[in-house]
A and B are shown apart, each in its own frame.
Chain A
Amino acid sequence: MSNRIAVFNDGVIQQLAAPDTLYEAPENAFVAQFIGENNTLYGKVIGLDGDICTVEAENGDKLKALGVNIQGVGFDTMISLRPERVEVNPESGQCSSTVTGKVEELIYLGDHIRSRMNVCGQDDFIVKIPNSANHAQLSPGDTVKVGWKAEDARALDVLVS
């Protein structure tokens, strides 16, 4: 409901922007985690082509992401990805990164099904599956393909906690 929001942490404004910009385009890992829900995937930048970088995840999967706040090839990064921007069993060509996910847990929430998956070796990866007419029917233990567009995955600084 504001014109702009100033996100504070540690006595410093981390980002000052309109609400939709803060949600869609966080500039650092703190803002990405503080505003709304985000998946985080840790890895190392192994390639850079314009704005798009290639990140090798901890399990060896290679992911495409938008290089927002990275130090360069060879450095650690944290990919931030909204649960509603992950596609389950995407059609070929729809996503620039597609990896295997194992369904760990499903929570039925009416308008969507919240699915916790093991993706890239991390078991806290959340996918929101909209309860639309032909949504994917999943069961715990299933192995599925999950994918996303490179521009929805934001490669950011690694948050030191």
Chain B
Amino acid sequence: MSSSEAYVSFQGVQKSYDGETLVVKDLNLDTQRGEFLTMLGPSGSGKSTCLMMLAGFETVTHGEIILDGTSINNVPPHKRNIGMVFQNYALFPHMTVNENLAFPLQVRKMSKSDIEDRVKNVLDMVQLGSFGSRRPMQLSGGQQQRVAVARSLVCDPKAFMMDEPLGALDKQLREQMQYEKKISIRCWCNNSLCDSRSK
């Protein structure tokens, strides 16, 4: 595959929730493999809808979404292999960090020893290696976010998305994460698409 070829491609994508008003109008957007793209706009401008359509949580009203050369319009979310970090992280509160990270792999019927290896690797990557036995509530907001990032990367996704990645953090932490992310995201993953309302 040549480097100029689109990796994630929205082709003439439209979305309407009520069958009348288009909240996304004829979206054409090509991103390259390894590109880090941010979507910026006021609330209600269609950013999150685009992420949700790419993740598969919303259907496409018209047009096509291509991921790595294949149309994913009719592929259910859990088979798209896309990592997503939600604004509120959506960690399982009753599970430890290790259990949160193992869950997506257990669902995929991976062997126990492979799961242990992967969980350890991904936790080290976000520099939380010694926090595996804690529950989410025993972590700070920034640490929880790193667990959420780790959980979305543990399945080795084709694309990686964050919805409002800095929205739930306080100002100081936001600035710190902005700086850290700049360095880390490129190490964490090859393919990312990022949605942010913050300027």
Any chain B CB within 8 A of the CB of A113? Answer: no
Known: A12-B25, A16-B29. A3 touches B45 (CB 8 A): no
Report chain B residues within 8 Å CB of A6: 29, 37-40
Q: How far is the CA of A2 from the CA of B26 in the complex (A)?
A: 24
Number of residues in A with C-beta < 8 Å to the partner? 18
Decide if the interface of chain A is mainly helix, strand, loop or mixed: strand
Report chain A residues within 8 Å CB of B25: 10-12
Report chain B residues within 8 Å CB of A35: 40, 199
Any chain B CB within 8 A of the CB of A5? Answer: yes
Any chain B CB within 8 A of the CB of A133? Answer: no
> Is there an interface contact between B36 and A2, defined as CB atoms closer than 8 Å?
yes
> Is there an interface contact between B38 and A8, defined as CB atoms closer than 8 Å?
no
Which of A9, A13, A14, A36 counts the most chain B CB atoms within 10 A?
A13
Q: How far is the CA of A14 from the CA of B46 in the complex (A)?
A: 12
Interface positions of B (Cβ within 8 A of A): 15, 22-27, 29, 31, 35-42, 45-47, 50, 178, 181-182, 185, 194, 199
**Nearest 9 CB-CB pairings of A with B:** A8-B41, A8-B45, A2-B38, A11-B25, A11-B46, A1-B182, A5-B38, A11-B24, A2-B36
Interface positions of A (Cβ within 8 A of B): 1-14, 16, 34-36
